[in-house]
Structure 1
Amino acid sequence: MTAGYLFFSGGACALLLLAAAKVSLNHHRLAAGRWLILVLVGVICYLLWPTLPPMPPAGAFLINLPIFLVPAAFWLFTHLLCREEEPFPRWGWIPIGLAIALSIFAKYAPSSLASGAQTLLFNLSQLLSMGLVGAGMLTLLGQFHSDLVEERRRLRAILLIAVGVYMLIVIGAEFLFTYHPVPHGVPTLHALLASLLSLAACLWLLALSPSALGESLPPSATPAEEKISPPAQAPSPDEQQQAQMRKLQAHMHNGGYRQTGLTIRELAEQLDTREHLLRILINRHLGYRNFNEYLNQFRIDEASARLADPEQAHLPVLTIALDIGYRSLSPFNAAFKRRHNLTPTEYRRQRLPT
């Protein structure tokens, strides 16, 4: 291993350890924080692995296991970061389990296994790992404009552009160089890129925006508690903000939320205000972290009343969902069940017994 790789990878590992210590001290009790720590530890192990001497199988497995877990941990972290109101999909554990199992088996396959079969296992594990990273990147991209937490929007962009692309490049390069010799200087270039990203992450976490990660990660409170109570540290709105809040609430109570596909930009235009000011108002003074959840508060209130109204018992649930602004039944059912822990049909059946 070249001196350049040793120098840059050592620097990257030191910086990543510093970042992991920062996250561990402040956010180890949050699931999202623990998954992020696992991502950082996995990257450290990945950079250290080429520099380590031969070791017993058990030791090698302990070093490699965090590496195998990085793509899955990245997806789980992005889901908790961006989709805090939704549980992780059960089907997601299937590709995660397959990717981890195939990565382990490809690395520690029995020597009696044909080389062609080993190559196939490795290729499948790499494709699945790229799929997990891609799923994490799609999660970061999804509902980006609905996110009301400014620091989290910035973190999404950083993770999407820097970390996600970097991980895809690394996995793709491993896949490519399995069949072609590694060009001279590529490992050193990789270590240099990793050290630059690690330096940028530490500067952001420790100097430029030390509170950003704490504001971005989902709080320990339940979504319902979080929506009802605005943050305790939020300053009182000034007169202009109070006037804007009254205007906003009047518009929504008059049915502004019923517009299908309503975005915060469109709502700002309807209220003749700037989008970033509206984001601050809804986030800091009304206590919502996601614009769709703010809309859902009004929509589910109306749906609940209409489902419990005997005069509207003949209306299909889909009709009510479309009337209050949903494009289809699936997101309405999900939002309704998060509120009442019942499907709309079950709720109506309880409120309107035959």
Structure 2
Amino acid sequence: MSASYVFFTGAACGLLLLAAAKLAISYRRQDAARWLLLLITGAFFYLLRPVLPERGPLLDFLVDVPTELIPGAFWLFSYALCSECERFPRLGWSLIAVSVAVGLAAAHLDAEHWPALCHWLYLLKQPLQLGLIAAGLVTLLRQYQSDLVESRRNLRACLLIAIGSYMLIVVCAEFLFSNRTVPAGVPTLHAVLASGLALGACLWLLAVSPQALAESLPRAPEAEAEEEVPVVEPQPLDEQQRQLLEKLQSHMQGGGYRHTGLTIRELAEQLDAREHVLRALINRHLGYRNFNEYLNQFRIDEASARLADPDQAHLPVLSIALDIGYRSLSPFNAAFKRRHEQTPTEYRREKLPA
């Protein structure tokens, strides 16, 4: 094992510990930060494992557990970061549990007694891990365009390009070299890459944009009173922003939200405004973190009024949903239930009793 490999591995591990300390101190109440902390812990043990002295089976197992959790933690962090307060799907928990169980079994079953089983478990391990990483990347891509929080959009892009690519390369490389001799220099190159990513993460988290993670993470209602990061008040609107805000409100009150599949880019074109200016206006001055959330305010208001109107009692719920801009009934039902904690049909039945 070369000295350069040990040096860069130690540097990466030290930087990861620094990032973990920052997360644990400042963001421990955020679910997304907890999953990120688990991801960092797994990466720490993954890098440290080759340089540790010989260990017993139990210590090997304890070191491997957080390592096997890395792909699942990446998906959980991506979901918590981008899905606001939506619950993680039950199927996702099952897939993560299966991936961890398969990985640990492939690493710790006695290959002499179970050669065929260990072989198939190892072949199954890589697709499962790649699937979890892909799920995390898809989560980061989902609704990227409608995300109004600029710092979170930047974080999504960095995770997609840097972390996602790195994890995919590592999993594929492990599979490629599983039955071959690893070429000289590859471990050192990996250590250099890992230390570079860890250094970039620490610089971003601690120096370049120390408030970016706090702005990106979904707010935990129970922790707001104890939030350590000060809330930055929005700057007063200048004349151009005030005019754009008035134009936006007039356009939306006139039914601009009814356009099916409306994106913030299309809305900016309709208002003859720059997209990034409109994003900042809706996010910082109106308080919305997602463009679809902003549209739903107007759409659900209209839907609620129409569902409670006796003159429109004959209209199917689907017709109302399509009229106000939804492509199908499912997203309308989900948005309506988040607002009223009941389905549109239940709401209509309550407002228009037979």
Q: TM-score range, shorter-chain basis?
A: over 0.9
> Partner of 1:347 in structure 2?
347
Determine whether 1:253 maps to 2:264.
Answer: no
- Give the aligned partner of residue 227 of structure 1: none
Corresponding residue number in structure 2 for 1:292: 292
Structure 2 matches for 1:31-110, cutoff 5 A?
31-110=31-110
State the partner residue of 1:168: 168
| Structure 1 residue 232, shift from structure 2 partner | 6.4
- CA-to-aligned-CA distance 1:124-152 (integer Å, 9 cap, x gap): 12211111011001111111111111111
Report if the CA contact (8 A) 2:111-2:118 is conserved: no
- Aligned AA for 2:346? E
Could you tell me how far 1:116 is from its partner in structure 2?
2.1
Number of the residue aligned with 2:309: 309
| Aligned CA distance change for structure 1 residues 313 and 337 (closer, same or farther; 3 Å) | same
- Residue in structure 1 matched with residue 9 of structure 2 by the alignment: 9
1:243 shift after superposition: 2.1
Deviation digits for residues 214-240 of structure 1 (CA, Å, limit 9, x no counterpart)? 111111139xxxxxxxx7611232333
| Partner residue, 1:22 | 22
Distance in 1, Cα, partners of 2:18 & 2:339: 40
CA contact (8 A) 2:85 2:218 kept: no
Equivalent position amino acid for 1:143 in 2: Q
User: For residues 91 and 308 of structure 1, what CA distance do their matches in structure 2 show?
Assistant: 36
Cα deviation for residue 120 of structure 1 reads 0.9
Deviation at 1:58, TM superposition (A): 2.2
Moved segments of 4+, more than 3 Å: 110-113
Tell me the distance in 2 between the aligned counterparts of 1:126 and 1:73.
16
**SS state at 2:69 partner:** helix
TM-score, normalising length: structure 1: 0.95
> In 2, Cα distance between the equivalents of 1:101 and 1:315?
51
Q: Distance in 1 between matches of 2:328 and 2:193?
A: 44
Hey, what does 1:225 align to over in structure 2? none
Q: What stretches of structure 1 of length at least 5 have no aligned partner? A: 223-230
Shift of 1:86: 2.4
| Secondary structure of the structure 1 residue equivalent to 2:221 | coil
Matched to 2:38, the amino acid is L
- In 2, the alpha carbon distance for the partners of 1:309 and 1:89 equals 36
Q: Structure 1 residue 102: deviation in Å?
A: 0.8
How many Å apart are 1:101 and its aligned residue? 1.2
How many residues end up aligned between the 2 structures?
346
- TM-score in terms of structure 2 length: 0.95
- Unaligned 5+ segments in structure 2 are 223-230
Amino acid at match of 1:337: K
Where 2:175 maps in the other structure, the secondary structure is helix
CA distance in 1, matches of 2:154, 2:92: 26
Which residue identity lines up with residue 251 of structure 2 in the other structure? H
Compared CA separation, residues 100 and 177, structure 1 to 2 (3 A): same
Asked if 1:233 is matched to 2:255, the reply is no
1:110 positional shift: 4.0
Between stretches 107-116 and 193-202, larger displacement belongs to 107-116
Shift of 1:179: 2.5
C-alpha displacement of 1:114: 2.6
- Please report how far the alpha carbon of residue 188 of structure 1 lies from its aligned counterpart in structure 2 after TM superposition: 0.7
Task: Report the AA paired with residue 244 of structure 2.
Answer: Q
The corresponding residue for 2:185 is: 185
CA root-mean-square deviation? 1.4
* Secondary structure of residue in 1 paired with 2:288: coil
> Percent identity among equivalent residues?
62
Partner in structure 2 of residue 226 of structure 1: none
Q: Are positions 1:321 and 2:324 aligned together?
A: no
Q: Secondary structure at the match of 1:348?
A: helix
**Structure 1 letter corresponding to 2:42:** G
Q: In structure 2, what is the Cα distance between the partners aligned to 1:98 and 1:340?
A: 36
